Structure 1
């Protein structure tokens, strides 16, 4: 077992997605707190990398594209780089073949991962990781931190410490100033990739009107792609004096904007977990499976009426009937 004075070389493997990467940040901070001299790295998909890049607890970020495992040449390049890092330990937070494989390719003698239980340790990850931890905690943040027990880290302080850079602060501040939002605003994240995670646009519009009438707060609507932008414009058009569509913001710029919001309302998506991680008060709207990925921490409120658990493949193909069980009144009351 290492002591605080040792400098082990440890790599976290969490390739995707954005929300899950955010929820893995406490693992990075716990490692830094316990091993202040360690060399800490993270293997991550390039589209998720901005949320981790520049983190004060991180020494090296290894970015791969989504299709890297389909290219023998790229696999060799990644393997060579990981070998050159001379890793002592890998921590496979994702628990899939695509995350366990690079851990194994790295040559690290200790490869920590989940055992096959409760939707963890999936595919052949348990064949490639050689120190398996049974997932005992309920929430994914605490479950991830459980992977550190073989390293002598138990019940660490939970910190996210999402990086914030001057350019992102400026982008957020310029938007707030240009829209005269210095007295406060709310973020309504109306979009989600899966239909099963979407509340209705009409209900979001009603919440925006309530927030303006009751508290004098405007609602800001972020978006990530053209479909989401069009949906945000439809909601804003329903309540033109109460809601506005955000210009195109990067993920890290959104983090800076969320820090300055009075409240965030949205479903189980990356932006919700980002807002929670930067300390914004959040109301999370959940259709199903809230236990693992509910808003983490005391600043979060979860609204959910259907607690039926299902795997990601099933949820991806579900309709949004469970989300429709959430009423406008209960969201407004939670505000």
Structure 2
């Protein structure tokens, strides 16, 4: 039986970052991906936003890894020529009763180490964005956008330059944990069995199912996952905004916000739709409710401005002790399986936090 030191399952942005971190630390790494390309799931179906770290419970993994990962991501993009822009965003209170929530966000962001937030009056916000309707706004200059595909290719390049290997069309079908390592059954065009000392389950939406397929993994420690589909609509005319515009958050997400890509194309989303199947087609009928949300901060948007764009599905897990859901980086100390690290609930701000998450996994597995 062939043996390799470390195997990472899932070549999304987080799996790529983890494999890169392990390879740069001198570990022998194989990154296996069920699809025939990297980043075909959640990593390529999102807003491509570099989050500042405003929304997350102080002290949570999301808060700590987002703020650290944000700075690391900007540095990585600069050093590797990855397209990005520190564009900034406004979080908008459309009515007086929403101002208290902005003030709460400002306090949360400050507690998380986001030091450049500024409360604006409606008039001050409109000075920055004249087409905006706002009673007040919270300005976040550190928020940005990134070319997610360019980022993933750069992470892959670093991993391979450090000796790591990528195997596409190679789904992990089962795993058996033992005292001398973890034995993986890998399918695809060239099925094989591999033994490794370290196995990182970074399979995103498939992470809970993969964990349940690992013999020796306590099933009660695998969280019950849910899938939140978010649809995006493309704006067919040039939007009159130079920054990202976010409303006060909605249950299950951050509200139907306006983001811009690096070419200046505007897109609105995501909304929230709880689903049980992975169907990515965008229902045109969702435009109606989306327009209602958008018009609270951009009253001049027209129905004919929006066309179905794309959708993504976020891997949701329950929060603990009535707290908001957090990233779960679950190592041997939690589940007792030597050499296994599970990554559960890696949704937003997973893209922003990817390099910081990878460092955390590297440090958990250092011995």
**So what's the TM-score if we normalise by structure 2?**
0.30
More strand by share: 2
- State the TM-score, normalizing by the size of structure 1: 0.32
Q: More helix per residue: 1 or 2?
A: 1
